[in-house]
Amino acid sequence: MNASAGELTAEPEDFLATKKTVELSSYKVNGTVGDVTVTNPRMRAEQVNVWYGQKHAIKNVNLDIGHNEVLSMIGPSGCGKSTFLRCLNRMNDTIASCKVNGSIKLDGQDIYHRDMDPVALRVRVGMVFQKPNPFPKSIFENVAYGPRIHGLATDKASLAELVESSLKKAGLWDEVKDYLHQPGTGLSGGQQQRLCIARAIAVSPEIILMDEPCSALDPIATAKIEELIDELRENYSIAIVTHSMQQAARVSQRTAYFHLGDLVEVGDTSQIFTSPKHQLTEDYITGRFG
Ligand SMILES: Nc1ncnc2c1ncn2[C@@H]1O[C@H](COP(=O)(O)OP(=O)(O)O)[C@@H](O)[C@H]1O
Ligand SMILES: [Mg+2]
Ramachandran region of residue 141, left (φ > 0), alpha (ψ -120 to 50) or beta? alpha
Render each residue's pLDDT in the chain as its tens digit; 290 residues. Answer: 443 444 444 444 444 434 444 555 655 667 899 999 999 999 999 999 999 999 999 999 999 999 999 999 999 999 999 999 999 999 999 999 999 999 999 999 999 999 999 999 999 999 999 999 999 999 999 999 999 999 999 899 999 999 999 999 999 999 999 999 999 999 999 999 999 999 999 999 999 999 999 999 999 999 999 999 999 999 999 999 999 999 999 999 999 999 999 999 999 999 999 999 999 999 999 988 76
Q: How far is CA 228 from the centre of its chain?
A: 15
Question: Does residue 48 contact residue 84 with C-beta atoms inside 8 Å?
Answer: yes
Any atom of ligand 1 within 6 Å of the Cβ of 51: no
Query: Is the shortest distance between the CB of 186 and ligand 1 below 6 Å?
Result: no
The predicted model scores a pTM of 0.90
Decide: helix, strand or coil at residue 45: strand
Does the Cβ of 192 fall within 6 Å of ligand 1?
A: no
Distance, CA 78 to ligand 1 centroid (Å)? Answer: 6
Residue 61 host element (H or E): strand 55-65
Ligand 1 centre to CA of 80 (Å) is 6
**What residue's CA is closest to ligand 1, atom 5?**
52
Distance CA 40, CA 58 (A): 24
- Asked whether the beta carbons of 246 and 72 are under 8 A apart, the reply is no
| Burial class of residue 165 (count of CB atoms within 10 Å of its CB; 0-12, 13-18, 19+) | middle
Protein residue with least CA distance to atom 6, ligand 1: 52
